[in-house]
Structure 1
């Protein structure tokens, strides 16, 4: 499996990888728990796809410290977009732990702490595969606009990680049926 760092270099997205590692350094130094989500997490878990921003899970009570840390490091807050931009223009978006992972979802965004929610990959804190799949299915189910991208990410992760229907036991019960359907899709596409 190609590393995420190598994939971003091949895609000409070295600056995105640099911003991800810079955020890790800043938050680690400030003792702010975080985990990478979204497209970068998908890449860290094995599906090498392009993305243009970085999604980070943080705790609500750390919002002010996150803002102060990033502003002090030269990042710009864009209130109209509700995101930060790195000095070279990479967008950083935040997901708040405990908020719903998708419209009408029973699943909440996981805490950026603990081995059930976070693992360490390529020097970064990344949301655990099971939690990432939960968020992708919950978000895709709740928004037709996101369904194709989020479900495609899950199907590719299923294929690359060779997940079978038994992996559903690691997911919230409300998502297990959809996950099993996506396993069938992944297996049909491999034939």
Structure 2
């Protein structure tokens, strides 16, 4: 099965069930001009839809590899791409969805994608929760700066909001 078909399996379900979603992760980075290798498709959805989504994926043959309050990942033998879902509360979802916009992902496939600012925030949050992710996440943020998806002022603002200002120089190479 083609990668584009894997996107459509899930996004068609989201649309049929009136589930708001936004693309995150490496494919969101790609939408903003930075392409890197990935083995997963990442979406953000409201936590209230978790059971419905997990049940649907299992019904169509996906194996649930992990499922917790804020995250689940799924794999199907027809493709080598894993589906990762991040679940957020309604208030957070409303903020993220209101700033998200459709972006061209591949071919003629356009998907609602989190804003660059929120993508950076999520990457910093990931580092906050797991410091072993720092190298990868900071590299992604550096590339977003290079692609001008975000600017230094926005980065400073996001770092401050996460109480992570001390990482500005490490990310950018500039003194604060």
TM tier, smaller: 0.7 to 0.9
Whether the 8 Å contact between 1:16 and 1:54 is mirrored in structure 2 is: no
Across the aligned residues of Structure 1 and Structure 2, the Cα RMSD in angstroms comes to 3.1
- Counterpart of 1:174 (choices 159, 162, 167) is 162
SS of corresponding position for 2:98: coil
SS of corresponding position for 2:57: helix
SS of corresponding position for 2:97: coil
- How far the C-alpha of 1:130 sits from its partner, in A, is 0.5
1:96 aligns with 2:91: no
1:21 aligns with 2:8: yes
- How far the C-alpha of 1:155 sits from its partner, in A, is 0.4
Q: Higher strand proportion, which one?
A: 2
> What's 1:120 paired with?
102
> What's 2:126 paired with?
139
Whether the 8 Å contact between 1:110 and 1:131 is mirrored in structure 2 is: no
CA distance in structure 1 between the aligned counterparts of 2:73 and 2:15, rounded to whole angstroms: 20
- How far the C-alpha of 1:31 sits from its partner, in A, is 0.9
TM-score under structure 1 length normalisation: 0.70
Q: Deviations over 1:65-115 (max 9, x none)?
A: 2123323444333358952123324211221114xxxxxxxxxx9416532
> What's 2:107 paired with?
none
- How far the C-alpha of 1:51 sits from its partner, in A, is 0.4
SS of corresponding position for 2:126: helix
Segments of structure 1 that go 5 or more residues without pairing to the other structure are: 1-13, 99-108
Distance 1:52 1:143, change over 3 A: same
Whether the 8 Å contact between 2:117 and 2:150 is mirrored in structure 1 is: no
1:42 aligns with 2:29: yes
- How far the C-alpha of 1:151 sits from its partner, in A, is 0.5
Which has the larger displacement, 35-44 or 71-80?
71-80
- How far the C-alpha of 1:62 sits from its partner, in A, is 0.6
Alignment of 1:149-188 (within 5 A): 149-161=136-148, 163-168=150-155, 171=158, 173-175=161-163, 177-178=165-166, 180-181=168-169, 184-185=172-173
Whether the 8 Å contact between 2:41 and 2:84 is mirrored in structure 1 is: yes
1:51 aligns with 2:41: no
- Counterpart of 1:70 (choices 57, 70, 87) is 57
- How far the C-alpha of 1:183 sits from its partner, in A, is 5.9
Segments of structure 2 that go 5 or more residues without pairing to the other structure are: 105-109
SS of corresponding position for 1:157: helix
SS of corresponding position for 1:134: helix
